[in-house]
Each structure stands twice: as structure tokens, then as C-alpha cells.
Structure 1
Amino acid sequence: MNVQDCTLYHGGLKGAETVFGENAEKYGVQEIVFTFEGHRLNRDKNAVTLTEDDLLRGDISMELASRMMNRTYYETEKIRRVLQTIFHMVNKGHQVFVVGTILEDNSVKGGTGWAVELAKLFNRPLHVYDQARRHWFTWKEGAWKEDTPRICYNTFVGSGTRYLSDDGIAAINQLFVESFGT
């Protein structure tokens, strides 16, 4: 796989998405940041502002999202737009990498969990670095299995918590080293 043929998709927020973007820039991976009008980004390199029509293509019932993630999402325009934006990230990126916390019900904590649920739904290769357990896990056969993933596809998503630990940063950095070399 040629690094120049790879594209990272993310949402440009502080924490995991910023570190994924910094690594993409360092290794020469193309980077696309999906956003919407009025959304504040921490990293805006190659930002694509989704139109109202684009956002509607990623629309989902908040009731369905709440059910899939085993939590309650109230109808707010900002939450809806964030979930719509995540749809575009996962729809474009084949392999999905997330940094966060895997919960007992196999979902992932916070809004990041929506990327995880969409990756499961779209049958994408899915990897989560669980900061609490300090290890990568891959979704296989309906369960999380410890793994040491590599970026293996030309398009991939990097997402995750805004509250990135030093271990989370190191996990993202190591993912890029192991995938593209030093």
C-alpha cells in the first residue's frame, strides 16, 4: 500500500481526531475533515463543509441512534449534525479506528460510539483503542478481541475522545509507525 494513496477522514475535533490528523500530515496521508456550518474545529486542514443536502443523506432518527447506542440522545440540532457528519466519515472511510472506552454492552462511550455503531452496521473493519484497558481491540464475530491493528486500506477513519490520555496518543502514533514505518 502506497501512503500517498491513503486518505484519512475525521471531524477535526480536539483530542483523538487532531492526533490522527497530525500523524496523517507527518506521514503524507491525505486528510479530509468533515464539518458543518458553524461548527468549531480544532484542526481544519482540507475541511469539507457539508451542505444541508449532504447532512440529510446522513440523517437518522434520534430514537434509533439512542436505541443502537443504549443511551438517550435528545433532539438537538447540534447533536443531529454531529451524527450526520460521522455518517459521512464512516461512509467514505473503509477501515475505522477509534480511541475511547468500550462499555460492558459492547458500545463505545460518548458520541464516538456512533462511528463504532455505523462501522458495525456497514461491516467495516473496526478497531478501538480502549484507554482504560490500554489496548487495541478489533470487532470480530460479534465481540471485541485484543489485537494490534494496522492501516490496511486506502481510506480510513480516525475518531475518538476529546479527552485523550498519553497512552491514547502513543497508541495512535504507534499505529502510524507500524502501518507506514518511521
Structure 2
Amino acid sequence: MKAEECTLYHGGLKGAETVFGELAEKYNLNEVIFTFEGHRLHRDRNAVSLTEEDLQRGDISMEIASRMMNRTYYETEKIRRVLQAIFHMVNKGHQVFVIGTILDDNSVKGGTGWAVELAKLFNRPLHVYDQNRQGWFSWKDESWQAEERPKIAFDTYVGSGTRYLSDEGKEAIELLYADSFGE
């Protein structure tokens, strides 16, 4: 697959998403950042501001989101908008890569977990680098299975994850790009 035919979708936040974006730029991939009015980005290359109508297409009840992620999300406009924007990322990207922490209930810590739950729901190939266990895991047969090093295998993909990126998490993203597109 040619790098220039691939598109990364992400939310432009500091940490994992910024590193995914910087490496997409380095390897000459397309990059689209979904945002909305009032959302502060750390990286804003090719930002697409979602309209109110766009955001509504990604709307979900906070009760359902809370249930799917086994935690409580309170009804705040900012959280709702973030979850709506994540819907657009996962809806556009065929393969999903996340840097974070897999919890005992099989969800992923933080807001990043919503991208993971949507990837499961949409049956997207899903890969999580767990910073605590320092390894990649894929969601297969309703469970997390350890894997060596995944590759970007589709022309659209999502890069998401924690704002608190470890050195090992950064290296995992760097190796993902190197393995997928060469040095």
C-alpha cells in the first residue's frame, strides 16, 4: 500500500494523537482532524470543524455510553461533543489503533475508550498498545489477544489514545509506521 493513498483520522489532542499525526506527515500520509467549535487542538493540520448537524449524526445517550464503557458519564456538552467527534473518526477509519490502558472489564481507560467501543460495535480491526503491559493487543473473538506488532493495512485508519503518552507508547507508534511504510 502506498502511504500517500492512506488517510489518518484523529482528534488533534496532545499525546498519542499528536504523535500519530506527526508521523503521518513524516510518511506523507493524508491526515484529517475532526474538531468542533470551542475545542482546543494541540495539532490542527487539515482540521475539519464538524457542524451541529454533523455532531448530531454521532449523538448517543450518555446513559448508553456509560453502560457500554462500564463507567459514569455525566451529561455535559463538552463530553457529548467529544464522543460525537470520536464517532466521526471511527466511522471514517476502517482500522483503529489506540494507545492506552486496557482495564479488567475489557474497556480502555478514559475517553479513548469510546473509540475502542465504537470500533468493536462497527467490527473494525482494533489494536490497542497497553502502556502498562507494554504490548499490542487485538480485539478478536470477544477478547483481547496479544499480538507482535500490527501494521496499517487499510487506506483509512484511526489513531487515538492517551494524552499521557509514555516513551514506550511513542515508540510503539513509531514502529507501527516504520513497519507499515518502511523507513
What TM-score does the superposition give when structure 1 sets the normalisation length? 1.00
1:112 is matched with which residue? 112
- What SS does the corresponding residue of 2:177 show, helix, strand or coil? helix
1:34 is matched with which residue? 34
Q: Deviations over 1:93-119 (max 9, x none)?
A: 000000000000000000000000000
2:12 is matched with which residue? 12
- Deviation, structure 1 residue 2: 1.1
- What SS does the corresponding residue of 1:170 show, helix, strand or coil? helix
2:150 is matched with which residue? 149
Q: Report the count of equivalent residues.
A: 182
What RMSD, in angstroms, separates the aligned Cα atoms of the two structures? 0.3
2:123 is matched with which residue? 123
CA distance in 2, matches of 1:39, 1:124: 26
CA distance in 1, matches of 2:145, 2:179: 19
Q: Deviations over 1:146-176 (max 9, x none)?
A: 1121000000000000000000000000000
What TM-score does the superposition give when structure 2 sets the normalisation length? 0.99
- Deviation, structure 1 residue 9: 0.1
Residues 62-101 of structure 1 correspond to what in structure 2 (within 5 A)? 62-101=62-101
CA distance in 2, matches of 1:83, 1:27: 28
- What SS does the corresponding residue of 1:127 show, helix, strand or coil? strand
- What SS does the corresponding residue of 1:81 show, helix, strand or coil? helix
**What amino acid is the match of 1:152?**
A
Q: Which runs of 5+ in 1 are unaligned?
A: none
CA distance in 2, matches of 1:121, 1:71: 17
- Deviation, structure 1 residue 57: 0.1
CA distance in 2, matches of 1:100, 1:138: 13
